[in-house]
Structure 1
């Protein structure tokens, strides 16, 4: 199975605590036979502060923070069986989520991985027109770092 994962950064934990979490999870999935491509924008000087080079258990695509590059990488999700869009990517998150969902195959599992559920849920509560409200109707599963029943109830 192929996974397309759109996140903040796998290569740098600079202002990006999710990197180490992504590394452990994706390495474990790779060891179980999944083929993974991680897409990360070149923002916040993360590429200048890499902790690791591209690992052998995952392909990494670093893209320019432009609308054109965003659309190019989003279109590649059509090759995946599982398409993951994490929150907090750092460049045009709403546009990226929309593009990823538009390009995912109909039979692909679409995942929204919320790396900061309290912040995301606060945004949703305070903005009835937030694009994520509509996007959630198209997403197969929502995953979070934790939060238990209160987070589950809020996402429902």
Structure 2
């Protein structure tokens, strides 16, 4: 299969979660024998922060404006599939460009589904519009569950399919690090997550002064009252994530409000921590129990008291090991690449749409 992807970024993981998602997925997709061309908008804020410039598993090309895409017109026309990603600059115009030229399957990959739907609801068509959605043969979404049916019914999408984030188990695995913290949290500050972090980590820390806690991530305001037994790490590069999780007796997952509202929206942090066999204590949202089995592969908590009780459990190690088995069995990049292939093959069955473009 020849696949062309127009995504936010492959070359730079600075300030976005798209690059690491694309890297894991497309490297695994190429390993299945497919040919991948990635087209990235050349913008200064990524150009100055590139940490991947010449991947050996795909062709990476840069364009400065929509007119430059004419250079790749033949590749887009002749590809078996073309995917446009969320948050691509001028995404509506690029989607129209691709839909008018491609003869193969045309898909949209939404790494930001709840954000996208909120933007559409308020008339913000930054990178996709209601007019564009029916022109995509398949809408690939980071969010599953009822959201998929909503996209099909509300916006006339021919097929909405889940394509969750995933983990590269060669990068995320137990490192053997000695335990440093009883409960860790890795995440950038956000207003909507902070009350949950207060209830599920800072309050347990105050109640358990002999336990050790850590919060890693940037942008936390100066006014937060950190308990003495909570260590702060302002920035933790991805290369150190596995060691961080491995040094945690357990780790906390806190979900953004829009993801909770949608449900079925697992964060990549869930899969990365579980791949390191770190027991996860998570806030609760619809669909989580379909991804990890409650009390066997993950611990769910709504209150301070439930977190305190979880930290006293003597089966946390078994829960972490079970979570790792679940991830390795269902949520690696190799699994997602196989799912992507299946979704594209399914979409290719829409012969009338493909032939209309080809004719």
Task: Name the TM-score, length of structure 1 as normaliser.
Answer: 0.88
Match of 2:113 in 1: 117
Contact 1:2 1:80 (C-alpha < 8 Å) held by counterparts: yes
TM superposition shift of 1:103? 1.1
Q: State the Cα deviation string for residues 92-150 of structure 1 (Å, max 9, x = none).
A: 11111110111111xx111100111111111222229886212211211111122x223
Match of 1:151 in 2: 147
Match of 2:101 in 1: 103
Residues paired across the two proteins, number: 151
Distance 1:80 1:123 in 2: 30
Distance 1:50 1:74 in 2: 26
Matches within 5 A, 1:32-111: 32-64=32-64, 66-73=65-72, 76-89=75-88, 91-105=89-103, 108-111=104-107
Moved over 3 A (4+): 70-76, 128-131
Contact 1:2 1:81 (C-alpha < 8 Å) held by counterparts: yes
- Aligned with 2:119: secondary structure? helix
Higher relative contact order (CA 8 A, sep 6+): 1
TM superposition shift of 1:32? 0.3
TM superposition shift of 1:74? 5.3
Larger radius of gyration: 2
Contact 2:11 2:50 (C-alpha < 8 Å) held by counterparts: yes
Q: Which runs of 5+ in 2 are unaligned?
A: 153-359
TM superposition shift of 1:79? 2.2
Distance 1:97 1:3 in 2: 15
Distance 1:97 1:136 in 2: 9
Contact 1:12 1:51 (C-alpha < 8 Å) held by counterparts: yes
Distance 2:69 2:102 in 1: 14
- Aligned with 1:97: secondary structure? helix
Q: Which runs of 5+ in 1 are unaligned?
A: none
Distance 1:36 1:27 in 2: 9
